[in-house]
Structure 1
Amino acid sequence: MIDVPEAFAREISGRENASGRAWIDALPGLVDQALRQWELTPSGAVMHGGVGVVVPVRRGDGTAAVLKISFPHPGNVAEPKALAVWAGRGAVRLLENDAQAFAMVLEQASRGSLRDVPDAVERVVVAGRLNRRLAVAAPDDVPSLRVVAEGWAKEIESRHRRLRAPLAGRLVGRAVEACRHLAAEQPNLLVHGDMNFSNVLRSEREPWVVIDPKGWAGDPAYDAVYLLRDRWPSMAELVKTLSYQLGAFAEAAELDRERVMRWVQACAVKDALWSLEFGESSERVSMNEAVAGIAC
């Protein structure tokens, strides 16, 4: 029986409250059940992300793979559906799936990620080319990015009214307009939805493959938001650098640069207002405001 990593147990219990604590208690048994179900042998230490644990395993034929079990949340439902559609094309292969248990057996990829590549432009170009490969017709039963864009517009408007925030009115108005425009024009393409550099891994089968998709139907330009979002606070000469990298991503992904920028600007305004409401640092608010002001 596995030992659940303490940091992961605290994160899930804190975020999901009673249901999270109950799931953590049941998790060793869920892992054992999956090992028996698919005749897997553990072959390494338990790892984890923000929503699930990953156990390196050997399959019955001796090949290496990983067992992933995620917290049963609506946001995790579409992951195996997306992986099944991609069938290893730019993504890890889905080998087994138990939708009820939120358990999957996946092809094993390298631990080296796109985050380890030192050249910033090379990182976004690799991600952009993967984004283009993954943009295939979405299955009928995955959530739509139209809902995301509509939700952002409502959140930005309501939070701005409630806070009477000092954020420039033109930025707020432009963000709401961008969200409504994006919501009205959504293609039916499969989108990763959390394509940050840590979710792009090296592979022996292909140079790079993605892991941990959210699986949205809509505009592939959305992936630009999470690709660079966690790096905004550390970018030197922020506006110039970010604008260039987003442009390089758009070109590599064969996307409209303006749509890429609109997603990013809207998210930056949303994040700035969230930071104001929940008392995050003024530096973070200012950084998001600078991102929101990048010219298309």
Structure 2
Amino acid sequence: MTIAGPSLPADLVERWGIRSSELIADTRTSLVHRVLRRDGSRAITKQLKPEGLHELSGIDFLDWRKGCGSVLVLDRRNTACLLEDAGTLMLKDYRLQHGEDAANNIILSVLGELHSTSVDAPPDSLIPLRSHFQPLFERTSREDKPDLSAALAYSASIADDLLSSQSDIRPLHGDLHHENIVSGSERGWLAIDPQGLLGDPAYDVANVFGNPDGAFADIIDPRRIIRLVDVFAPAIGCEREKILRYAIAHAGLSICWSLEGGDRISGEGNAMERFAFLNIARRLLEERAFSP
């Protein structure tokens, strides 16, 4: 570890008793450090940049969960927080060693804890699911490339229908996937980096379909898509079709985020992967290829 430097403000270094720090992520929205504290414990610090203030609802979600299925918020100061260090083993890597079914079982376990009831009222800051989907609706209205326009219009139509008929509305992690479930501490597998949303619980598994990163062949494999539908529908307590439709809706939204970040459908990045997934999932939905 390196000695804590200017990227960690002096008042936070003192307040949290930080002896040393290691930068582990510098994104458009935040700075994340793994730190060693004076008492010998390790923790994670997350500092939101101006572009990342929308992530405050995610920190509020973690605060509300109080460590149930997710990392603990140890302390907060304005747009920075001190988090439990859940470990360095990502579910993405675990899946490579132990397989898809083992990874899915962990997702189900974490999801069950995240969706469990709490005696505390959820925070008011959680973002409604329809607001979360606005980038998809806005991009669809102005997209002029025929193939992309058709795919986004299809995804947006499904999203609008789902959002108009939500059930069992509750706080959601909003970004659950193989790199946001980690382990290595005595508390086992925990979720990190939530969006902090409010909506239908079926959305909370939608991002699993497009992950893990680097598993494109699996992501577009119809057998895996159907398997995920069959695994998640009973866990959420909804029809299989609903799970697949939320996955399609999220794929369209993810394409829009990627395009805004400079990605291209013709490239080899996330936009291309989600576009390919969307088209295959659409065929499965229209053919009703999933289990009855």
TM-score, length-scaled by structure 1? 0.76
The answer to whether the Cα contact below 8 Å between 1:131 and 1:253 also exists between their aligned partners in 2 is no
Matched, 1:259 2:239: no
Q: Per the alignment, do residues 234 and 138 of structure 1 end up closer, same or farther by CA in structure 2, a change over 3 Å counting? A: farther
Equivalent of residue 45 in structure 1, options 15, 22, 43: 22
**Partner SS state of residue 28, structure 1:** coil
Q: Residue 294 of structure 1 aligns to a residue in which SS?
A: helix
Q: Secondary structure at the match of 2:86?
A: coil
TM-superposed CA distance for 1:172, in Å, is: 5.8
Instruction: Give the root-mean-square deviation of aligned CA atoms.
Output: 3.2
Cα gap change, 1:221 to 1:60, in 2 (>3 Å): same
Tell me, yes or no, if the aligned pair for 1:147 and 1:183 is still in contact at 8 Å: no
Amino acid at match of 2:125: D
The answer to whether the aligner puts 1:288 opposite 2:278 as a matched pair is yes
Give the superposition deviation at 1:221.
1.9
Q: Compared with structure 1, are the counterparts of its residues 140 and 188 closer, same or farther at alpha carbon in structure 2 (3 Å cutoff)?
A: farther
The match for 1:105 is: 82
Alpha-carbon distance change, 251 to 207 in structure 1, aligned in 2, over 3 angstroms = farther
Aligned pair in 2 of structure 1 residues 261, 97: CA closer, same or farther (>3 Å)? Answer: same
SS at match of 1:141: coil
Q: Which residue of 1 aligns with 2:169?
A: 188
* Contact 1:271 1:288 (C-alpha < 8 Å) held by counterparts: no
Change (3 A) 1:35 1:290: same
Aligned to 1:45, what secondary structure does the other structure show?
A: strand
2: CA distance, partners of 1:142 / 1:227: 21
Q: What stretches of structure 1 of length at least 5 have no aligned partner?
A: 5-26
1:15 match: none
Say if 1:57 and 1:234 are closer, same or farther in 2 by CA, change over 3 A. same
CA shift for structure 1 position 3: 8.7
In the alignment, which residue of structure 2 is the partner of 1:70?
48
CA distance in 1, matches of 2:61, 2:124: 11
C-alpha distance after superposition, 1:165-203 (max 9, x if no partner): 13696x666533321222223443111111121110114
Alignment of 1:120-131 (within 5 A): 120-131=100-111
The separation in 2 between residues aligned to 1:111 and 1:278, in whole angstroms, is: 28
**Contact 1:90-1:134 within 8 A present in 2 as well:** yes
- Between Structure 1 and Structure 2, the one with more helix by share is 1
Which of 123, 126, 132 in structure 2 is aligned with 1:142?
126
Distance 1:144 1:270, change over 3 A: closer
SS in 2 for 1:65: strand
Which of 65, 79, 96 is equivalent to 2:75? Answer: 96
Percent identity reads 21
**1:49 Cα deviation (Å)?**
5.4
Q: 2:67 & 2:264 partners in 1: Cα distance?
A: 43
| Residue 228 (structure 2) aligned to one of 240, 245, 249 | 245
- The letter of the residue matching 2:70 is A
Q: What is the deviation of 1:82?
A: 0.7
Unpaired segments of 5 or more residues in structure 2?
A: none
Task: State how 1:268-283 maps to structure 2 within 5 Å.
Answer: 268-269=251-252, 279-281=264-266
Which residue number in structure 1 is paired with residue 140 of structure 2? 156
Change (3 A) 1:168 1:54: closer
The answer to whether the 8 Å contact 1:189/1:218 transfers is yes
Aligned-partner SS, 2:175: coil
CA-to-partner distance for each residue in 1:120-170, whole Å, 9 max, x for gaps? 1221232133223212463222111122345534533442xx33x13696x
Q: For each residue in 1:251-292, what CA deviation from the matched residue of structure 2 results, as whole angstroms up to 9, or x when unmatched?
A: 3444443222111112334566877x9743278344432233
Tell me if structure 2 keeps the 8 A contact 1:221–1:259: yes
Deviations 1:3-34 (A, max 9, x none): 99xxxxxxxxxxxxxxxxxxxxxx82544331
2:22 is paired with a residue whose SS is coil
| Counterpart AA for 1:246 | V
Q: TM-score, normalized by length of structure 2?
A: 0.77
Alpha-carbon distance change, 70 to 178 in structure 1, aligned in 2, over 3 angstroms: same
**SS of residue paired to 1:62:** coil
Distance 1:174 1:93, change over 3 A: same
TM superposition shift of 1:208: 0.7
Structure 2 counterpart of 1:217, one-letter code: L
1:35, 1:84 → 2: CA distance? Answer: 21
